Structure 1
Amino acid sequence: MISESDILDCFQHLVKDVSDDVILVGSGDDAAVVKAQEKDLVHSLDISKVGTHFPEDSPAEDIAYRSVAVALSDLAAMGAYPSFISIGLTANITEISWYKNFTKGIEKILNEYQIKLIGGDVTFGEINICVNVFGYPYDKIITRSGAKINDSVFLTGPLGKGRKGLMDWKTNKKSSYVSTFFNPIAQFINSEKIVKYATSCIDISDGLVKDLGSICKLSGAGADINVDMIKITHDIDDVCYGDDYVLCFTCNKKHDDLAEEQGFIKIGFITDKVGKVEFKKN
């Protein structure tokens, strides 16, 4: 029977040398100590649960990577870049190899985004990963509540790749979409591009219909969306599903040319019909 100490030992190489000018005390004490910066600290927390956010037979490495990536995506939606994370892991796996593979996924994403793991905890139970992410604004913070009437609505990419990847995984079909589901890309590059002109933003985690609805609700507005302009992967249900993690943002129409030059897709505009998102075809 493996112990909590055995599991924690799997993570030690990831937290051994994280102390620097910002992280004064890393893992090993009862709490980490982070030096206050001149910039605002942006924080988000995301929980991924087996059977809900990933299939039960998912590889441990992919579970780890995906759980961190979807949490980081929230920072990108706010116009912030990542700096460090902490992880709470609940698992009922009794093979130490599973935890070693899990840490491989953590190490992979730490290296890709050049961020640090400053601590966490483990306990026994149904697989559940709680990820705290911390970062700093590129410029101004982008919220969900800043959309204005007649603003344009943009997407930074197509919808449905994550959904198609999960479908392919469940049917044992090999495709690039499977990697898209398990290894989603947090859109920090696009976040930095739009941060100076976007009036609101959200990452598409729960589907365009719901997530754009959140922008409209908090902005006291509505939206008219041209379905024909949305790039979908599988079928029209892609607009409802989620797991895309592309950004949906709004901006003043005077920035349309810039947004389109940057490769973003205009799909509609903000209206005065409070809380009402209408999808139309040409």
Structure 2
Amino acid sequence: MSFLISELDILNSFQHLVEKDDDNLVVVGSGDDAAVIKSQKKDLVHSMDISKEGTHFPENSNANDIAYRSIATALSDLAAMGAYPSFITVGLTSNKTNIKWYEDFTNGLEAIINEYDIKLVGGDITFGDLNICINVFGYPFMKPLLRSNAKPDDLIYITGALGKGRKGLIDWKNNKKSKYIEEFFRPKVRFGLSKYIASFASSCIDISDGLFKDLGAICKLSQVGAILRYEDIPITNDINDLAYGDDYELCFTCGIECEEMLRNKGLKSIGKITEGSNIKLTKNNKDINFKKTGWDSFY
């Protein structure tokens, strides 16, 4: 008897089902942040994200924040693909019986769909433990950004500091007033930078599961390794920010010819892509032994 031991194992067990495409409608299938599907005018980018109470947001969170966060984290997958959102569906499983809770949830939905000019086109609701399933659909700014095109000597970038969401959750649990609480409950989706890098980035992923794990996904699909310079990585708390996740920044790679252009945007390279398959962390040219990988909802 075999046992599934991680989220990735379970996803891999479904892989043969999503690879079936007799009509050649799937441009990019499972493996990236979202799927890309052929349509008559332009490719359609789709992703689905599930948020569960107690796992993806704490119990007793405000319903307004739950709605906003659940959609924002789903939209981040589109930003990672170099795509902008067009419409969403919302599936809600809830055991709440107070009408005020649903009014607050609706207000959170309205806030984020207005902020990003998205259409809510449908959904479903049923009774049960609180979780939200979001389907997001959109279109590429140019061509879809994938995880599989990083090349040796490409530079590695992230679009913002790591650990802000982590600190926000800690501060919320400790009843501490903090600007970081909004970073956790209402993360901003990096569509502006996604559009900016769409023409030259060689690969991209959103940092939802931790930099080490998500960069590892790029390295695996691109069949490369990486070196990260700890002193150049913007962090909020400590070294564990590299693996915690809940950042929803973008990690992307590009050729060295883009370095000055990105520096003018306030972005500094944090490392480079290498031959091989290992990810190495250094500080002032000395190796750091860092064994944490990243978020897995089954651990």
How many residues get paired? 246
What is the match of residue 278 of structure 1?
Answer: 280
- Counterpart pick for 1:137 among 130, 136, 140: 140
Query: RMSD across aligned C-alpha pairs, in angstroms?
Result: 0.7
Structure 2 counterpart of 1:50, which letter? Answer: E
What is the match of residue 246 of structure 2?
Answer: 243
Measure, in 2, the Cα distance between the counterparts of 1:265 and 1:114.
30
Q: Equivalent residues in 2 for 1:120-135 (5 A)?
A: 120-135=123-138
Any idea what SS the aligned residue of 1:266 has? coil
What is the match of residue 96 of structure 1?
Answer: 99
- Counterpart pick for 2:170 among 167, 171, 188: 167
Shift of 1:265: 2.6
Measure, in 2, the Cα distance between the counterparts of 1:182 and 1:235.
21
Measure, in 2, the Cα distance between the counterparts of 1:174 and 1:225.
33
1:158 aligns with 2:164: no
Shift of 1:57: 1.1
- 1:205/1:243 contact within 8 Å kept: yes
Q: Equivalent residues in 2 for 1:111-126 (5 A)?
A: 111-126=114-129
CA deviation profile, 1:176-225 (whole Å, cap 9, x unmatched): 10011000011000000100000000000000010000000000000000
- Counterpart pick for 1:216 among 201, 215, 219: 219
Any idea what SS the aligned residue of 1:265 has? coil
- 1:156/1:265 contact within 8 Å kept: no
What is the match of residue 38 of structure 1?
Answer: 41
1:73 aligns with 2:65: no
**Once the two structures are aligned, what percentage of the paired residues are identical?**
61
Structure 1 counterpart of 2:154, which letter? Answer: D
Measure, in 2, the Cα distance between the counterparts of 1:57 and 1:250.
39
What is the match of residue 195 of structure 2?
Answer: 192
Any idea what SS the aligned residue of 2:143 has? coil
Between 1:80-89 and 1:260-269, the stretch displaced more is 260-269
Structure 2 counterpart of 1:70, which letter? Answer: T
Q: Which runs of 5+ in 1 are unaligned?
A: 1-35
Between 1:71-80 and 1:93-102, the stretch displaced more is 93-102
Measure, in 2, the Cα distance between the counterparts of 1:64 and 1:240.
25
Measure, in 2, the Cα distance between the counterparts of 1:133 and 1:93.
25
Measure, in 2, the Cα distance between the counterparts of 1:134 and 1:60.
23
Measure, in 1, the Cα distance between the counterparts of 2:274 and 2:220.
12
TM-score (norm 2): 0.81
Distance 1:234 1:181, change over 3 A: same
Structure 1 counterpart of 2:224, which letter? Answer: A
CA deviation profile, 1:31-65 (whole Å, cap 9, x unmatched): xxxxx551100000000000000000100000000
What is the match of residue 227 of structure 1?
Answer: 230
